[in-house]
């Protein structure tokens, strides 16, 4: 007489659920899920997926644990500060459930490695913290035809959705076709986030992933769920395919790998910035125009090197008139000047070399005192 396998004690409480059963557990045990970002969203998602017995978990994060992460990134403790997140997460999850195969990737996800890494998984969870990664992962999932469990937070609110799954396939660009410009949307570092909020949203991502794998319930396919923790209001919008979105996604692997997502997302690439020494070597030389983009009245006033004043608020309309071989912008801290450099680069005018003084005038020292 055949003896049926006893339900493993570890998963007993979910296997006895109606609609879940041993079949659901078996599906989980063979599933391969990649979590992008082991931060506020990734930590709770990983904890629940490992606990539930998802067979294989990939964790990609290039970052290290910082003290300011600990109020929301619940996989880490004080002794983890300075350690790579992906490795620490993998270690702790292995303690939680040694039946799960866990692969940490301590690296930055980039167009050059993205498709290869994602292609080894069935479902991708986006828990990243920036638009460059989000648009890159979205486009990669469309190209690879992989379900994407999207989650994002800001301050007291979060969003969850599933893209690229089901009969009608939609993606994030059907909602927001173009990435916002730099500075348009603040990230957690600048805008803040209630620690428990990514806990709620990341846990929902885990829940949606389990529903997708096991086929239970009605996952948030083509529905963007928005939740506000202050008011407890939630709101859902239905996502439909748009022609614009389809036209914006790279056509093939080659095009994808050539796409500069940092650039698309308005994140000025570091090459525009110059340090103190390079700046001092340039200032005052022929063919080099130094521009102060601070608003009128900002101090300290600068008399040590020749420059013109063109406040950022007036810069855009005057960009095309700038005519020098090299233009170097500076401001108070280096942020506005970097924006100015980006704008000038964008118009593709006559200026050949465009730079921004890193750290701004507040960190500037004359060549004599340096």
By CB under 8 A, residue 44 contacts other proteins = no
Q: Are 292 and 302 in contact (CB under 8 A)?
A: yes
Whole-number Å distance between alpha carbons of 216 and 16: 14
Of positions 96, 191, 246, 347, contacts other proteins by CB under 8 A: 191
- Site map 97..126 versus other proteins, x via CB under 8 A: -----------------------------x
Classify each residue of 206-224 as buried b or exposed e, where b means 16 or more C-beta atoms within 10 Å of its C-beta. Answer: bbbbbbbbbebeebbbbeb
- In angstroms, what CA-CA distances link 306 with 309, 344, 356? 10, 20, 16
Which residues 244-263 are close enough to bind other proteins by CB under 8 A? 244
User: Is it true that the peptide bond before 300 is cis, omega within 30 degrees of 0?
Assistant: yes
Q: Shortest Cβ distance from residue 60 to other proteins (Å)?
A: 12
Of positions 80, 87, 139, 157, contacts other proteins by CB under 8 A: 157
Q: Which is nearer to other proteins, 96 or 244 (CB)?
A: 244
**Stretch touching other proteins by CB under 8 A, among 23-31, 47-55, 93-101, 175-183:** 175-183
**Stretch touching other proteins by CB under 8 A, among 26-34, 228-236, 249-257, 271-279:** 228-236
Of positions 47, 136, 152, 354, contacts other proteins by CB under 8 A: 152
Of positions 14, 128, 280, 342, contacts other proteins by CB under 8 A: 128
The stretches of the chain forming alpha helices (DSSP H) are 12-15, 21-30, 42-52, 85-96, 111-118, 131-144, 188-191, 196-214, 243-248, 253-258, 261-264, 276-282, 312-318, 335-347
Give Cβ neighbours of residue 305 (< 8 Å, ≥ 6 apart).
283, 284, 290
Q: Shortest Cβ distance from residue 61 to other proteins (Å)?
A: 10
Of positions 175, 182, 264, 324, contacts other proteins by CB under 8 A: 175
Question: Which residues are 357's β-sheet partners?
Answer: 274
The tally of CA atoms less than 13 A away on the side-chain side of residue 175 is: 20
Q: Shortest Cβ distance from residue 164 to other proteins (Å)?
A: 18
Q: Shortest Cβ distance from residue 175 to other proteins (Å)?
A: 6
DSSP 295: P
Chain residues binding other proteins by CB under 8 A are 37, 39-42, 126-131, 134, 151-155, 157-159, 175-176, 178, 180, 184-188, 191, 193, 198, 224, 226, 228, 231, 233, 235-240, 242, 244
């Amino acid at each position: 007489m055949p003896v049926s396998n006893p339900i493993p004690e570890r998963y007993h409480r979910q296997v006895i659920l109606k609609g879940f059963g041993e079949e659901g557990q078996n599906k989980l045990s063979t599933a391969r899920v990649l979590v992008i970002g082991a931060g506020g969203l990734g930590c709770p998602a990983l904890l629940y997926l490992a606990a539930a017995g998802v067979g294989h978990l990939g964790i990609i994060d290039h970052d290290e644990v910082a003290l300011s992460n600990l109020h929301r990134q619940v996989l880490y403790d004080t002794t983890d500060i300075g350690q790579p997140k992906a490795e620490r997460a993998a270690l702790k999850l292995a303690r939680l459930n040694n039946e799960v195969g866990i692969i940490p990737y301590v690296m930055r996800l980039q167009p050059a490695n993205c498709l290869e890494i994602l292609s080894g998984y069935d479902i991708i969870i986006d828990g990243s913290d920036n638009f460059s990664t989000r648009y890159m992962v979205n486009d990669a999932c469309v190209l690879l035809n992989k379900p994407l469990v999207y989650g994002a937070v800001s301050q007291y609110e979060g969003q969850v959705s599933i893209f690229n799954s089901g009969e009608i396939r939609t993606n994030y660009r059907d909602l927001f076709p173009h990435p916002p410009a730099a500075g348009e949307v603040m990230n957690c570092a600048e805008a803040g986030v209630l620690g428990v909020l990514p806990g709620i949203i990341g846990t929902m991502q885990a829940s949606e992933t389990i529903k997708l794998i096991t086929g239970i319930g009605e996952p948030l396919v083509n529905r963007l769920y928005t939740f506000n923790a202050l008011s407890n209001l939630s709101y859902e919008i239905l996502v439909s395919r748009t022609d614009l979105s389809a036209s914006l996604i790279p056509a093939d692997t080659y095009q994808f790998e050539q796409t500069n997502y940092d650039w698309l997302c308005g994140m000025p690439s570091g090459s525009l910035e110059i340090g103190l020494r390079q700046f001092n070597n340039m200032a005052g030389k022929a063919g080099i125009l130094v521009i102060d983009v601070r608003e009128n009245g900002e101090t300290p006033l600068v008399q040590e090197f020749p420059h013109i004043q063109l406040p950022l608020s007036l810069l855009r309309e005057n960009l095309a008139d700038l005519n020098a071989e090299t233009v170097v912008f500076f401001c108070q801290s280096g942020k506005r000047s970097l924006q100015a450099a980006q704008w000038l680069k964008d118009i593709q005018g006559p200026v050949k070399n465009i730079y921004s003084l890193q750290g701004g005038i507040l960190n500037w020292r004359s060549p004599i005192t340096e």
